[in-house]
Amino acid sequence: MIMFAIDIITDDIAPLKTSDTGEDALSIMEEIKVSHLPIVNNVQFLGLISESDIYEYAKPEEPLGNHRLSESRGFITESQHLFDAVKLIGAFKLTLLPVVDDKNRYLGSILLNNLMYRMANMDLFVNPGGIIILEIDENNYSLSEIVQIVESNDTRILGVYLTSIKDSTKFEVTLKTNKMDISSVLQTFNRYNYIIKATFSEESEYFEDFKNRYESFLKYLNI
């Protein structure tokens, strides 16, 4: 199911006003366990204020409107995808991500914990299956061929993740499949002269460790 930003926002966090002080903001951040808060003027989103910003203020008792917002572009529109939220949170190292409409009106925020919980319950991570990591030169990369190889062995790809290899024209392609037994898929990749860097199956120690970490992570998010 496609997930948009609007689907995972919370309106439990009241945004700051420009008349609020840095001290007010720090008190709220400590209470709700975040390091960022949105600032609005009526309903118009102005930007984000961070805990580190406030600590640099010479006079944190002054209104926030007296200071520059260093992370004003840390927001997402309601129609953007969940993965866009992940990218922005990572890029700005945010603990929450404001969501706005097409008129820049503040709608709510996506909390980091909520986002990670939603991602952790996606089919890519929850469903059993094998993992294959390929090393491919960018000039030879063909997703359609990779899909054809996997599906020719009566297997489906649940997710694909690309990672660039530093100082190289190559990258790693990580595939999550829907089957634990990936031996026939690996044989076909070998016939096509693909470089297989690593594989993991549900029976491996890697998956047992992953399962334990996954369960611990969900318990952490529920705290």
Confidence at 223, pLDDT banded by 50, 70, 90 = very low
Which residue reads 């406030």 in tokens? Answer: 54
Cβ neighbours of residue 79 closer than 8 Å, sequence gap 6 or more: 4, 5, 6, 102
10 pLDDT exceeds 80? yes
111-128, pLDDT tens digit by residue?
A: 988 887 777 666 666 677
- Beta pairing, strands 195-200 & 170-177: unpaired
**Whole-number pLDDT of residue 195:** 95
Q: Is the pTM of this model over 0.85?
A: no
84 pLDDT exceeds 80? yes
Q: Where do the domains of the chain lie, and which CATH numbers do they carry?
A: 5-119 (3.10.580.10), 123-220 (3.30.70.260)
Confidence at 59, pLDDT banded by 50, 70, 90 = confident
Cβ neighbours of residue 126 closer than 8 Å, sequence gap 6 or more: 120
202-216, pLDDT tens digit by residue?
A: 555 555 555 555 556
